[in-house]
Chains A and B, each alone.
Chain A
Amino acid sequence: MTETTRDHSTTRFARYTGRAFWLRTAIVGVIDAFLVLGAVQFAQNRSWAVLAMLLLAGLLINWAYLSPRAQASRWLTPGLVLMMFFVVYPVLYTTYVSFTNFQTGNLLSREQAIERLEEAEIKTGESGELLDMLVYRDGDDQLALLVHGGDAEPFMGVVRDADAEAAPSPVPGFDPSAFDPEAPPESVDGFELLSGLAVTGQASRLEDVILDLSPSSSAEVETLSSARLVIGGLRFIYDADNDTLFDQQTGRTCDAGEGTFFCDGVPEDEVQRVARLSADTTIVCTAGMCDGVPLFALDQTLAGWREVVGPDNYVDLLTNERIRGPFGRVLLWNVIFGFGSVLLTFALGLGLALTLKNEDMKYRSVYRSIYIIPYAVPGFLSILVWRGLLNNEFGQINRMFDGIGLPTVDWLGSGNTAMISVFLVNTWLGFPYMFLICSGALTSIPEELIEAARVDGAGPWKVFRMVTLPLLLVSTAPLLIGSFAFNFNNFLLIFLLTNGGPPLSGYDVPVGSTDILISFTFDIAAGAGRGSQFGLASAIIVLIFVVLATTSAMSFGLTKKLEEIYDQ
């Protein structure tokens, strides 16, 4: 930064050697210490974006407050750091999320998700089969068991306590294929077969011991000569070399794919239809067997991971009928709502501004003050009050209708009347603003122009249409565009008045008759009953960005506001 301040070089020099400089250095030093401490931890947590911003903020702070050449940045740094974290980053991050599958079930990183899968336990298993059991003991007084019978292959291994961690430890010298139940081996690897009486002597040691047969099955000692087979334990084994997951419950090997593992050869009745299946997840079923089945279609609780999936969310939005349908509907109503709101509030505001234009009108300032009131009441309060007034059973409006003999209307309960109610309340909320700006704009229209038109023989309506309105539109157009952008995202009104309702059914996403994009998105992200779909929600937000950027570009073009700034 090249500074051209009218600073005196000697005073500047003084400031960089004086007490203030050392104090500032000390403060920056303390901030740096915390930043480094934080940076290390964010790096450990793999929060790379936060880490990058932290480092950038650190550089900016150090440079701004230590370099004698940095002058303006000393004033700008607090604002810039906050804007980086809370304005720029959210826009970039939302755009990034819109290209990922970030949603309930895919919230974790890949490493975390695989870790979680490795902890998953077998849920259903046959247990209860009784196996014959032989007890062995070696010179160190260690016990080993040999179980056989049923469908299970004979197995000999060292026992563990019930509370110890499961880990099969077979006796290596035991050969299952040579095993004959009539003539069990007397001795294997130093383990001696105990006679019936000797086993009784070990009875207390045999309580509560478990023989692990495999990671997912074990035998629990039942009597002195039998053990009960228990299938359970951990379900999956991850093979890092091949990036595959072995499902011990079903014996299938599943391959890693987008966001989760995909299994082949799954019987059709095991596959669940879930909302999370995106358009390009293709499960191919032939003759009752399905290929390419994602884990979450087998069991929704199995974790997947978050990863970049490209334009899938956008493709879903535009091609998946069960999402495109409601999206199109919401978009259409959103545009109607935005334009309609601007039109209604502008018409009423302008009408009132014209009505009160005459400065000699009595009580003019009283009217003005009254019209400002709706604008000054915090929006969420007045919207909630309107919801009460429009209440079907008890609301004042229906009671008034009833009182004068009109049929009552379920204002917020059906699609069309809910839309009318939304317009009614938004007109109440918005007309004061339009009244104020129109009043201001009217006073700036030169009276001579109107006089001239009148002299030329134009009637009042023609004067309004040909002179007043065009001039008014020129000066208020940017504000009208701003008002459109505001109403386009008027979440508070929709959410508090109708909550987007009344709800429509039959779609993959929650949607209602008066939902606008942002309330629709909110429900998708907040996961109204079906889990949060952050990726899809972000894609819609990015589309809202596009709408806003377009309207703002129009607005900037109209005002040439920027040139005024530069001229300063």
Chain B
Amino acid sequence: MTSELRPTRRPLKVWFRRSGGRHLVAILAAVFALYPIVWIVSSAFNASDSLASASIIPRETTLSNFTDIFDSEVTSVGRWLWNSFYIAIIAAFVNTFIAAMAANAFSRLEFWGRRVLLTSMLVMQIFPQFLGFIAFFVLSQQLGEVVDAIGFNTHAFLILVYIGGAAGFNAFLLKGFLDSIPKSLDEAARIDGAGPATIFLRIILPLARPMLAVIFMISFIATFSEYILASFLLNGDDQLTLPIGLQVFLAEGYNAKWGVLSAIALMGAAPIVTVFIAAQKHIIGGLTSGGTKG
């Protein structure tokens, strides 16, 4: 099936024998991939918003599912969305910055214990952080007895946990990227009188921007979807993050809440899908060199 053999115009039969099979497989897979997506989109705009009355092409369309999300009398979904969003933004931002600082040291400085430290940071990341939920539960209560603001059922504690979680692995990913930035740039800046902090902020960080963006994205998505820790450390309707809130919200009456769920799914997914498709190359590079989606 090499390209040289392909005639410029072919009868349908030949075309089908040559590449029709491939397209058939590809289209079947595309249908599978899009099946839930189609339902999300059509149900989000469907005026009759129950699961039972959903159809691919809605008879009547509406935006009420979207307005319901932010109507605090109907659901707290708007609140949960905001909680998840700001927790994930802060955690991802600080996490990326701290990882960049550590990566800078690993990439630019020689120091005693460098290998051991880098290896042990990687080894510790084998254990997914959420497995420590019992420890975090106890830790939050012990901290809370002394400092209310970072105790049990505070977003601040959860953010701290998330920041600490992936710092090691992200530092490792970033170190590889920083290694590819020529050291002669630092030398030149140093000769011009720049201190280490200036070099880091003015030269390294701007050059590492693509990789920083990828790490920020990965951290953001992982934090945004995190379930176990948030469910153990938060409590009370107003405090919840979106995954936990949705689970509670859907616990009774899945059928009737289908329209709102679809609207939330569409809103939650659309921005990320767009960014993903636009920045395919960068993100995929980062992901495949690392692990799987968290």
A87 touches B33 (CB 8 A): no
Cβ-based interface call for B135 (8 A): yes
Cβ-based interface call for B87 (8 A): no
Contacts of A385 in B (CB 8 A): 36, 39-40, 261-262, 265
B269 touches A352 (CB 8 A): no
Contacts of A78 in B (CB 8 A): 98, 101-102
Contacts of A38 in B (CB 8 A): 146-147
B254 touches A94 (CB 8 A): no
A93 touches B135 (CB 8 A): yes
CB-based nearest A residue for B31: A370
From the candidates B52, B124, B277, name the one contacting A88 in the complex (CB within 8 A).
Answer: B124
B227 touches A491 (CB 8 A): yes
- CA–CA, A94 to B136, complex, Å? 9
- CA–CA, A4 to B94, complex, Å? 29
B179 touches A378 (CB 8 A): no
From the candidates B52, B147, B164, B224, name the one contacting A82 in the complex (CB within 8 A).
Answer: B164
- CA–CA, A376 to B265, complex, Å? 12
Cβ-based interface call for B272 (8 A): yes
1/0 per residue, CB under 8 A from B, across A1-31: the answer is: 1111110000100010000000000000000
- CA–CA, A133 to B11, complex, Å? 118
- CA–CA, A492 to B265, complex, Å? 16
A381 touches B265 (CB 8 A): yes
B246 touches A76 (CB 8 A): no
CB of A400 to closest CB in B, whole Å: 10
CB of A236 to closest CB in B, whole Å: 27
A373 touches B29 (CB 8 A): no
1/0 per residue, CB under 8 A from A, across B152-195: the answer is: 00000000110111011001100110010000000100100101
The secondary-structure label for the interface of chain B is helix
Contacts of B142 in A (CB 8 A): 42, 45, 47, 50
From the candidates B54, B272, B284, name the one contacting A377 in the complex (CB within 8 A).
Answer: B272
A91 touches B124 (CB 8 A): yes
B126 touches A549 (CB 8 A): yes
1/0 per residue, CB under 8 A from A, across B122-163: the answer is: 111111111111111011001101110000000000001101
From the candidates A72, A86, A548, A552, name the one contacting B129 in the complex (CB within 8 A).
Answer: A86
From the candidates A45, A378, A394, A566, name the one contacting B51 in the complex (CB within 8 A).
Answer: A394
Contacts of B22 in A (CB 8 A): 355-356, 358, 361
B246 touches A384 (CB 8 A): yes
Contacts of B136 in A (CB 8 A): 86, 90
A389 touches B39 (CB 8 A): yes
1/0 per residue, CB under 8 A from B, across A126-163: the answer is: 00000000000000000000000000000000000000
From the candidates A86, A391, A492, A562, name the one contacting B165 in the complex (CB within 8 A).
Answer: A86
Interface residues of B (CB under 8 A from A): 1, 3, 6, 19, 22-23, 25-26, 29-30, 32-37, 39-40, 50-52, 54, 98-99, 101-102, 104-105, 107, 109-115, 117-119, 121-136, 138-139, 142-143, 145-147, 160-161, 163-165, 167-168, 171-172, 175-176, 179, 187, 190, 193, 195-196, 221, 224-225, 227-228, 231-232, 242-243, 246-247, 250, 254-255, 258, 261-262, 264-265, 268-269, 272-273, 275-277, 280, 284, 287-288, 291-293
Top 3 closest pairs, chain A to chain B, by CB: A90-B132, A86-B164, A82-B164
